[in-house]
Amino acid sequence: MKNINSTWVIAISISFSVLIIVGFNVIKLGAPYILHKKQNISVKGSVSIDFTSDYIVWNGQFYNKDLDLTKSYELMKRDKEKISDFLISNKINDSLVMFKSIQMNKVYKKDYKYNGDGEIVNSEDIFDGYMLSQDIIIESNDVVLVERVANEITDLIAFNVNISSMNPRYYYTKLSDLKIDMIRKAGEDGLLRAKTAVSSSGGSLGSLLLADIGVFQILGKNSNDNFSWGGTLNLLSKEKTAYVTVKQKYSIK
């Protein structure tokens, strides 16, 4: 009986010793993993660049109305010739001008019937003529010239031409190249931020782990345009400012 008890005491002692050793190894092995766990740093680089649009698109419209459709059409032909002569005299080449197809609408006006007290008792729609309209589009890389023409073409109103001028839209034909250059500069800005932050703490920067390019925001220079989640593209300003950010994550050695 004494031998059996001695055997159990020895077995329990051995098991307890193993637990202590295993536990010690867990702590011993676990601590270096925590101490040497890889660290990283996340930064956001950004850049803004001002540029001038090099392409312009202008839209205008002229119209005429007459009770006789043929007469209204003749007036449209007359006004188109006046507009063409104006554009040629201002050095706008025919190849830059597009006259869209004529649109026709029947126009009606209300005819009101009054009683003796001046109250409306009835009304009916009375045909008031055929309204014909035609759009004009000019596209050119001569931005200054088209701007001037867009401002002056309404002078034709003095010659009985019913014409309206829309605000020009401005584009930049080298936008793709500009975007690539901006991504590079934003990345360089982020790298400099990361190096500065890590070196000031006595560390050194490792490899790039992640790079995420944000959406481009192209706003009117010195305008009140707002950034938007999906990106902004201002077309009404000739002078523009482009913004982009690049998020980066680096390892720390």
DSSP symbols for 167-217: PPEEE-TTHHHHHHHHHHHHHHHHHHHHHHHHHTTT--EEEEEEEEE---E
- 200-204, 219-223, 239-243: range with lowest mean pLDDT: 200-204
Average pLDDT taken over every residue of the chain: 86
Nearest CA to 245 out of 207, 195, 193, 201 is that of 193
Nearest CA to 62 out of 95, 102, 107 is that of 102
Give the confidence band of 10 by pLDDT, cuts at 50, 70, 90: very low
Per-residue model confidence as pLDDT tens digits over 12-29: 443 433 333 333 333 333
Residue 193, pLDDT score: 95
And the tokens for 123?
Answer: 């009304």
Nearest CA to 182 out of 217, 154, 138 is that of 217
Under CATH, to which class is 38-54+172-253 assigned? alpha beta
56-168 has which CATH code?
3.30.70.2970
Please tell me the distance from the alpha carbon of residue 164 to that of residue 75, in angstroms, as a whole number: 16
DSSP-assigned beta bridge partners for residue 220: 240
Contacts of 48 (CB under 8 A, 6+ apart): 241, 242, 243
What is the pLDDT averaged over residues 209-224? 95
Q: How distant is the alpha carbon of residue 49 from its chain centre? A: 15
| Cβ contact 231:217 at 8 Å | yes
pTM of the model: 0.78
Q: Does the pLDDT value for residue 106 go beyond 60?
A: yes
Domain ranges in the chain are 1-37, 38-54+172-253, 56-168
Q: Does the pLDDT value for residue 31 go beyond 70?
A: no
Residue 38, pLDDT score: 59
Q: Does the pLDDT value for residue 154 go beyond 80?
A: yes
Give the confidence band of 117 by pLDDT, cuts at 50, 70, 90: confident
- 27-31, 103-107, 136-140, 168-172: range with lowest mean pLDDT: 27-31
- Residue appearing with tokens 């803004």: 48
And the tokens for 237?
Answer: 């300003």
Percent of the chain with pLDDT over 90: 75
